[in-house]
Amino acid sequence: MSAQPPVRDRILASATTLFDATSIRSVSADKVIADAGTTKVTFYRHFPTKDHLVVAYLEDQLARLQAAIGRERADGLDACTVLLHLAAANGDAACRPGFRGCTFINAAAEYPADGMVRTAVGRYRAWLHGVVAELLAELGVGRPDAVADQLIMLRDGAMVYGFMGDPSAVTDSLVTAGRAIVAAHLDAPLSA
């Protein structure tokens, strides 16, 4: 018999599965508690409110993304490759069965602007913008912050399109449009 993960991890894993399957707002704390096989007392010891659980969920998603980018950078991948991998990862997410849109966009849509959940979304957005701008600067793109805004808007639209439209078109379209945006701000052409 294998040991169960710590209860906080079990609660977070249950929340992730349930949130990803429907939406954050539609999943009650009671449903997470039942799915995790714990008690209300234990749940609230780890997460004083459902919003605290949602923040932990978002922070976990962000940590996974940061780790993936960190591994790519540690492996010595060039900025262009990392940007292409980001686009492909977003396209792959939009193509997976049951995709319901970007975790962070959905959370922002479901919560008020002045709460802890939107603050967590803001941390993700700031991190993403910083990473994209840094990669663009490495490529020699003029005005990397402005171009990062453009690429992130493109990515956001692709995530919505993947949920609302034809997900199979997302990856190629995202890469093609992203290359056009970057190329428009480069002095030298992008490599293949």
Q: What is the pLDDT of residue 39?
A: 96
Tokens of 63: 């940590």
Q: Which amino acid is at 74?
A: A
Contact indicator for 55, 117 with CB cutoff of 8 Å? yes
Tokens of 126: 């700031």
Over range 136-163, report the average pLDDT: 92
Res. 133: pLDDT tops 70: yes
Neighbour count for residue 45 (Cβ, 10 Å)? 12
CATH code of 50-184, in short, is 1.10.357.10
* 1-48 has CATH 1.10.10.60 classification: yes
- Residues 91-128 have pLDDT tens digits of 777 777 777 888 999 999 999 999 999 999 999 999 99
Among residues 176, 42, 164, the alpha carbon closest in space to that of 106 is found at 164
**Cα 185 from Cα 175, distance rounded (Å):** 16
Q: Do domains 1-48 and 50-184 have the same CATH topology?
A: no
Query: Has this prediction a pTM greater than 0.75?
Result: yes
Tokens of 31: 């449903």
Tokens of 150: 């453009």
Q: Where in the chain are the domains? A: 1-48, 50-184
Q: What confidence category does residue 144 fall into, taking pLDDT thresholds of 50, 70 and 90? A: very high
Q: What confidence category does residue 11 fall into, taking pLDDT thresholds of 50, 70 and 90? A: very high
**Cα 24 from Cα 9, distance rounded (Å):** 18
- Residues 174-192 have pLDDT tens digits of 889 999 999 999 865 555 4
- Residues 27-60 have pLDDT tens digits of 999 999 999 999 999 999 999 999 999 999 999 9
Q: What is the pLDDT of residue 188?
A: 58
